[in-house]
Amino acid sequence: LVTLIVFIIPIMKGEDAFLEYYKQQTIVTDGEWDNFQTSIHQPLPASFVVVEQYAGGAGKRLLAQLESGRYQDLSCLDWYPNRLAWHATTPRVSWSDDFKQFLKAQTEMGTIIRQEVVSMIPVLLLTDNSLPANPSFLDICAAPGSKTAQLAQVLRQRSSDDSGVIVANDCNANRASMLMSRLKCSGSAALVVTRCDAAEFPANQLFDRVLCDVPCSGDGTIRKAPKLLSNWKPTSASALHAQQLKIAKRAFRLTKPGGRMVYSTCSFNPIENEAVVLALLHEFGDQIRVLENSQLLKGLHRSPGLTHWEVLAANGPDTAFTAYESREEAKRTKHGGQCPDTLFPVGQRLSELSHCMRLLPHHNNAGGFFVALLERRDIISVERAFADLPSVSDPKFRGDSLFPFVPILSAKNGREITECITQSMNLLDSFPMKSIFFRDHGDDDAHDGQNHGRRARLYMLSPMAARFAQYYTTTSNLMHAGVRIFERCSRPDGVDMEFRLSWEGLNHVIPHISLKEMMLSMSLASLTPLLSGKPMPISSEIAMLSCTNDENAYRGNIIVECELDNITVQLPGRLSARSIQLLSPARALDAMSLMIK
């Protein structure tokens, strides 16, 4: 039972309140306090992760350029595996136009994931060597999607066919749409996007790994959003605590026995952090433990979790904070906000909280963050754990489930379509056609082969993603699944190409192409004008490579290849008797143009 007690006078807030509150919480030692206080007023450096497995070799090319020192404003984060994470070493005001253009273009292309340094950590803790084959991930509060994109990269590193599944959820329609847009560049066939209340997330099975990055007061992001400091007030955390705990409990119940969950916030406040973890320890008893992680991510500076904190309130705008020992004491003194028993540091398991990780702004020249790596011990079976999962009510939020994903092989004219795809792409029998789906809009006659109907876009879903997509269709929560891989097209130039390869699905198709004439290698000089995205006349080099003067020469889908500093870059395109064109989004071509300068 949560007791609500309402303030009747203004409360203490702003920077003075922030500093006094956290000084009393001793989130930093006395010797560090000045560094902490100075750091919160400094601008936050930009940072990102390189998507090394990005379609067509563009990620590898970008990484090579960064290592060569092309951009002097950037430095590698040595604690991040494989030197994939970088951050700016100069303030934004001193960035060159070239560097600004680079960041914008690579972000839009998807070769980099713009992400705060500290928010990179949860995924790294979840994806160590203990990760099982074909893992299932749940990112229960996923928007804006940077951590989900990290997960997609981990799956791609482990398996070229994205074996496994990543379920990314958000309850807000706008944030879920933003999430889908951001993840489009991931090219992951394992992706399933849902829209539902995280505290009542439905499931047909449990997950190997769960990421629970809950909504929070966000005061760890003050360096990025300075206005938060002037508006800061002590009751923000206690107002969120109950909902955070509710989401965390559901997330842990969705974790398989033997699996792991990360609970994280971008808040300094122990009310949102250690207090929630302690409540989980009390709720789940022997089933849960906090894993020690000080030996992970060598070079990352951190502090241990707190094993004691104060429940503080101020009874006026100019009064000092008062510490309360219990909800009853707070109620007697008319403490404002919400004050459940779980706010207080009591119980037998407080010492385990030191295994949590606190990241402060002066530690890594980054933001503030809290991370707890939790294990669900396998003292009960997966079947028992699933049977004990509380049922949920009808969904408050609905996705786009009116249009389910259907296997193309089960469509009315599925065999005809798959034969057309095989011919258009010159595919080997090894291509997993059973993994190709379309969204069924329920209008069987809408597509007559002459226009863009319901099967104009085809998607690849991993086997696990297909099963999850089917389930979340039945719960009305599905928003999106898989990666767009083929698109129907009609061309006035007579090219026999009913389907074309979608840029996002490039990596999934290239290993299965049978016709060597589809792979068109060319020099940088020939590639450069094609990056405009417009149909270009056939140059003498391309004519020689493609034998376009031969009336029996190949016409249709092609993969354009160009070797840049010993790295082969590949882009989808089309070839006719008179012209050649790259078929990639303008943002991808713009980013590639910058990359080859």
> How does pLDDT run across 94-103, given as a tens digit for each residue?
888 888 888 8
| Within a domain: 240 | yes
Same domain, 468 and 525: no
Q: Is 218 annotated as a binding residue?
A: no
| Within a domain: 590 | yes
| Within a domain: 155 | no
* Most confident region among 349-353, 449-453, 521-525, 534-538 by mean pLDDT: 349-353
| Within a domain: 67 | yes
Cβ neighbours, 10 Å, residue 567: 16
**Residue 4: band (very low, low, confident or very high) from pLDDT cuts 50, 70, 90:** very low
The torsion angles phi and psi of 528, rounded to 5 degrees, stand at -55, -50
Write down the mean pLDDT value for the chain. 87
Same domain, 286 and 319: yes
- Position 242 scores a pLDDT of 95
Average pLDDT over residues 454-476: 89
Q: Where are the alpha helices (DSSP H) in 335-388?
A: 361-364, 382-387
| Within a domain: 537 | yes
| Total-model pTM | 0.91
Closest listed residue to residue 7, CA positions, set 342, 339, 341, 345: 339
* Structure tokens given for 400: 């786009």
Same domain, 331 and 217: yes
340: preceding bond cis by omega (within 30 degrees): no
Strands (E) across 266-417 are located at 288-290, 303-304, 311-313, 322-324, 337-338, 357-359, 369-376, 405-407
Same domain, 14 and 54: no
Residues counted in the chain: 597
More confident residue, 260 or 538: 260
Question: Lowest-confidence range among 154-163, 289-298, 418-427, 540-549?
Answer: 540-549
- Position 255 scores a pLDDT of 98
d(CA 245, CA 2): 12
Residue-wise pLDDT tens digits, 253-296:
999 999 999 999 999 999 999 999 999 999 999 999 999 998 89
Q: Is 144 annotated as a binding residue?
A: yes
- Residue bearing tokens 């206005």: 227
Q: Is 285 annotated as a binding residue?
A: no
Average pLDDT over residues 477-502: 79
| Within a domain: 152 | no
**Cβ-based neighbours of 62, under 8 Å, separated by 6 or more:** 50, 54, 106, 111, 112, 595
Q: Where are the alpha helices (DSSP H) in 193-346?
A: 227-230, 235-253, 274-284, 327-332
The residue out of 344, 361, 387 marking a domain boundary is: 387
Would you call 76 a catalytic residue per the annotation? no
Q: Is 75 annotated as a binding residue?
A: no
Question: Lowest-confidence range among 11-20, 53-62, 250-259?
Answer: 53-62
Q: Is 146 annotated as a binding residue?
A: yes
Same domain, 254 and 133: yes
Same domain, 237 and 381: yes
- Position 28 scores a pLDDT of 95
Q: Is 170 annotated as a binding residue?
A: yes
% pLDDT > 70, the chain = 88
| Within a domain: 174 | no
Q: Is 256 annotated as a binding residue?
A: no
Q: Is 489 annotated as a binding residue?
A: no
- Position 72 scores a pLDDT of 84
* Most confident region among 297-301, 490-494, 517-521, 590-594 by mean pLDDT: 297-301
Same domain, 9 and 129: yes
* Structure tokens given for 102: 């680079």
Same domain, 91 and 131: no
Closest listed residue to residue 382, CA positions, set 261, 259, 257: 257
**Residue 71: band (very low, low, confident or very high) from pLDDT cuts 50, 70, 90:** confident
Half-sphere exposure (Cβ direction) of 414: Cα atoms closer than 13 Å: 14
Q: Is 213 annotated as a binding residue?
A: yes
The torsion angles phi and psi of 490, rounded to 5 degrees, stand at -125, 130
Q: Give the CATH number, domain containing residue 561.
A: 2.30.130
More confident residue, 315 or 111: 111
Closest listed residue to residue 432, CA positions, set 402, 408, 406, 397: 408
The answer to whether residues 478 and 404 touch, using CB atoms and an 8 Å cutoff, is: yes
Same domain, 134 and 98: no
Residue-wise pLDDT tens digits, 212-249:
999 999 999 999 999 999 999 888 898 999 999 999 99
- Residue bearing tokens 């004050």: 339
Q: Is 132 annotated as a binding residue?
A: no
% pLDDT > 90, the chain = 53
The answer to whether residues 241 and 271 touch, using CB atoms and an 8 Å cutoff, is: yes
Q: What is the C-alpha end-to-end distance of the chain, expressed in Å?
A: 63
Number of domains forming the structure of the chain: 4
Residue-wise pLDDT tens digits, 495-526:
545 788 988 888 899 999 988 878 888 889 88
Same domain, 106 and 91: yes
Same domain, 359 and 415: no
More confident residue, 401 or 302: 302
Q: Which residues of 84-109 are buried (b: 16+ CB within 10 A; e: fewer)?
A: bbbbbeeeeeebeeebeebbebbbbb
**Residue 491: band (very low, low, confident or very high) from pLDDT cuts 50, 70, 90:** low
**Residue 546: band (very low, low, confident or very high) from pLDDT cuts 50, 70, 90:** low
Structural domain boundaries enclosing 59? 47-115
pLDDT of 35 higher than 90: yes
DSSP annotation of 513 reads B
Task: Please pick, among 266, 339, 356, 562, the residue that the annotation labels catalytic.
Answer: 266
| Within a domain: 182 | no
The residue out of 326, 356, 387 marking a domain boundary is: 387
Closest listed residue to residue 226, CA positions, set 21, 29, 17, 39: 39
Same domain, 467 and 371: no
* Strand pairing class (85-88; 165-169): unpaired
CA-to-CA separations, 6 to 3, 10, 11, 272, 330, in angstroms, rounded? 10, 11, 11, 20, 12
3-state secondary structure of 590: helix
